[in-house]
Amino acid sequence: MSRYRLNWTVLVIMALYVVSCATANMDVQKQQGEAIRNLGEEYYKQGDYTSALKELLKAEALYPDDPFLQNDLGLTYKAKKRLDLAAKHFQKALELKPDYAPAKNNLGAVYLDKKEWDTAIKYFKEVSENMLYATPHIAIANLGWAYYNKKQYTLSETYYLKALDLDPKFIYAQRGLGLTYTAMGRIDEAIEILEGAVKDYPKVALLYDDLAKVYMLSHDYDKALDAYHKVIELAPDSAMAREAEKAAQRLKRY
């Protein structure tokens, strides 16, 4: 073997070694990043968004090309009301994994929070048409909420009913349909759906608050008073409870 060929062989072997080491190092960083991401997710589940963000940013420094991490960062920024940053990370998740339906639904939810209804609708429609998305009722109910806020109540009703066909006890759709019927002046139907919701979720103060207001519209003041008392019982230190207390006092004077 000539000296030239020998040197070339050595160079190839060295290059392969360097690539192998770099790949191994990247695998280690990925594993470390995923472990830190998992810790951040636990903080997020506990509602400690600041600690979650600290861990998730550490994970991003190690392995930024993780779509699940980018989605987690989006959720955390959304929880901290940093909507532009949340949108940036959901978009990054979709760049890394274009078929990542939860990230697309979350991006739509950011635009709901920003009250950019038409942009939200665009993303939710894309998600709801994804046959592989495990929870399409979430995106469909989000469409209901977007159309409700656009005051397109017939479309809102249509999407909420579709969501409830998929999951009859999906609280978000139950409440949204109740609000939609209220806005449409279909008070009896609003009462029926909201009474069903509080049977399914008897500890959710917001449902009783909605129900109290609908009872008021139907002039059933005794039931309204009971519902307001339930709000105060379930959420005693909240602004909603303080408003319920004021409403209850007004009813008592009547």
DSSP string, 215-227: HHHTT-HHHHHHH
Residue-level pLDDT at 14? 54
pLDDT digits (tens, 9 = 90+) for 9-51: 555 455 455 445 445 566 767 788 788 999 999 999 999 999 9
The full DSSP string for 133-152 is -S-HHHHHHHHHHHHHHTT-
Measured over all CA atoms, what is the biggest interatomic distance in the chain, rounded to whole angstroms?
Answer: 107
CA–CA gap between residue 32 and residue 59 (Å, rounded): 7
The model's pTM: 0.84
Which tokens sit at 203? 């500890």
Q: Residue 123 in contact with residue 108, Cβ under 8 Å?
A: yes
d(CA 247, CA 144): 29
Q: Which amino acid is at 121?
A: I
Instruction: Give the model's pLDDT for residue 253.
Output: 81
User: Going from the N-terminus, what domains does the chain have, and what CATH number goes with each?
Assistant: 1-98 (1.25.40.10)
Q: What is the pLDDT of residues 192-203, one digit of tens each?
A: 999 999 999 999
DSSP state of 131: T
Q: What's the pLDDT at 165?
A: 97
